[in-house]
């Protein structure tokens, strides 16, 4: 079977036979790479996200360094929140900060809708530049944050361990929370579709914080809006990957969301996932990113074990269960890529 990287990725998303699993890694362009750190010495993170040519260059770094055949456009999930009127900053070591936080219905009503071509053109323009550089055979995945995760950042004003403000609004003022989700989803749809129109053959929806919800709460307050976002993309014929960190208890709902691929974090056994949701969607994942810290030999052993756990059924995209860690040795990433590229089920 002679497949281009694009064909291999699309066939895996559609649960069709492939010669080997496609592979890409969350945060595959990032701080563990000296090439990325060199760029970051010259510009801030937000300046980088808003420079399509730099986004193109950074997206290409892991493809060129490790021979990866699938990329993901370099961007950030919070750009839409800024476009809706919030102040976005990234303090050194402090993570993203959004201000003023959304706490009342009046705050939600004050948010503005935006045109991605005018307010957030950078991911789509980077996608076009990447296509011009790579052609159509090497796929570059587009992405956005899921409505719940972006809403949580907006309500908390940044990252959180317990999401007390998000849950306070969700349970004490559900109509305001649902209004925020409605407003967000209405803006995230054209934001993601702009990347599709620019050439993204596959997109991923990142729900980094939805794992903090139980099944019932997720089904009522998060899933309907994620479904709306996913289905808007699927209407264009583009496969969608759904990722929820800490979402092992939610994978059945994720499989029912309309997504073509459910991305598992490292805490989910692939065999358990298949028993739960069968083969109605493809799976992505799910190596523990911490394994790579142990070096190339440990990485190769873990990758082989993980590939064996997914078995030979069609519909697997190899990935980590979360993003690459800052202190990951590049040699481990190379070992991972080589191991997957050499895998023959």
Instruction: State pLDDT tens for residues 14-54.
Output: 999 999 999 999 999 999 999 999 999 999 999 999 999 99
Q: In the prediction, which pLDDT does 189 show?
A: 99
Sign of the alpha-carbon torsion through 224, 229, 233, 239: negative
**Are the beta carbons of 252 and 276 closer than 8 angstroms?**
yes
Sign of the alpha-carbon torsion through 146, 129, 22, 280: positive
CATH 3.20.20.210 fits 5-341, yes or no: yes
> Taking the C-alpha atoms of 198, 202, 208 and 211 in order, what is their torsion angle to the nearest 10 degrees?
150
Q: In the numeric block, which tokens belong to residue 345?
A: 């089920």
The strand pair at 261-263 and 282-287 is best described as parallel
Domain range list for the chain: 5-341
Nearest partner of 206 among 178, 245, 167, judged by Cα: 245
Length of the chain: 345
pTM for the full predicted model: 0.97
**Are the beta carbons of 261 and 233 closer than 8 angstroms?**
no
Q: In the prediction, which pLDDT does 1 show?
A: 83
- pLDDT per residue, tens digit, the chain (345 aa), is 899 999 999 999 999 999 999 999 999 999 999 999 999 999 999 999 999 999 999 999 999 999 999 999 999 999 999 999 999 999 777 789 999 999 999 999 999 999 999 999 999 999 999 999 999 999 999 999 999 999 999 999 999 999 999 999 999 999 999 999 999 999 999 999 999 999 999 999 999 999 999 999 999 999 999 999 999 999 999 999 999 999 999 999 999 999 999 999 999 999 999 999 999 999 999 999 999 999 999 999 999 999 999 999 999 999 999 999 999 999 999 999 999 999 987
Residue with tokens 């055979």: 137
Q: Which residues contact 49 (CB under 8 A, 6 or more apart)?
A: 55, 74, 75, 76, 79, 122
Q: In the prediction, which pLDDT does 95 show?
A: 86
Q: How far apart are CA 343 and CA 300, in angstroms?
A: 11
What are the angstrom distances between the C-alpha of 245 and each of 62, 134, 160, 173, 209? 23, 31, 14, 25, 6
């Amino acid at each position: 079977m002679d497949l281009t990287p694009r064909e291999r990725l699309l066939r895996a998303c559609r649960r069709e036979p492939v010669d080997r699993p496609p592979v890409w890694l969350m945060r595959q362009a990032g701080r563990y790479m000296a090439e990325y750190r060199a760029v970051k010495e010259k510009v801030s993170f937000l300046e980088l996200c808003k420079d399509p040519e730099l986004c193109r260059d950074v997206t290409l770094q892991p493809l060129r360094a490790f021979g990866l055949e699938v990329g993901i456009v370099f961007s950030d999930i919070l750009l839409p929140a800024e476009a809706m009127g919030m102040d976005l900053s990234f303090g050194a070591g402090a993570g993203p900060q959004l201000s003023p936080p959304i706490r009342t219905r009046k705050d939600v009503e004050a948010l503005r809708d935006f045109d991605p071509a005018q307010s957030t053109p950078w991911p789509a323009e980077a996608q076009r530049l990447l296509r011009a550089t790579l052609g159509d055979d090497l796929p570059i995945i587009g992405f956005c944050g899921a409505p719940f995760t972006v809403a949580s950042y907006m309500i908390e004003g940044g990252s959180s361990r317990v999401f007390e403000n998000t849950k306070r609004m969700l349970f004490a003022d559900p109509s305001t929370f649902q209004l925020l989700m409605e407003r967000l989803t209405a803006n995230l749809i054209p934001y993601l579709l702009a990347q599709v129109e620019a050439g993204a053959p596959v997109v991923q929806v990142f729900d980094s914080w939805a794992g903090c919800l139980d099944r019932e709460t997720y089904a009522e307050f998060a899933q309907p809006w994620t479904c709306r976002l996913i289905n808007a993309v699927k209407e264009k014929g583009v496969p969608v990957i759904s990722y929820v960190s800490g979402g092992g208890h939610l994978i059945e709902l994720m499989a029912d969301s309309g997504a073509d691929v459910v991305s598992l974090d490292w805490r989910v056994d692939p065999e358990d996932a298949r028993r739960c949701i069968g083969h109605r969607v493809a799976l992505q994942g799910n190596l523990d990113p911490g394994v790579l810290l142990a070096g190339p030999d440990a990485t190769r052993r873990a990758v082989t074990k993980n590939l064996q756990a997914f078995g030979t059924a069609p519909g697997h995209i190899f990935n980590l269960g979360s993003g690459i860690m800052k202190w990951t040795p590049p040699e481990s990433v190379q070992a991972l890529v080589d191991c997957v590229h050499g895998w023959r089920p």
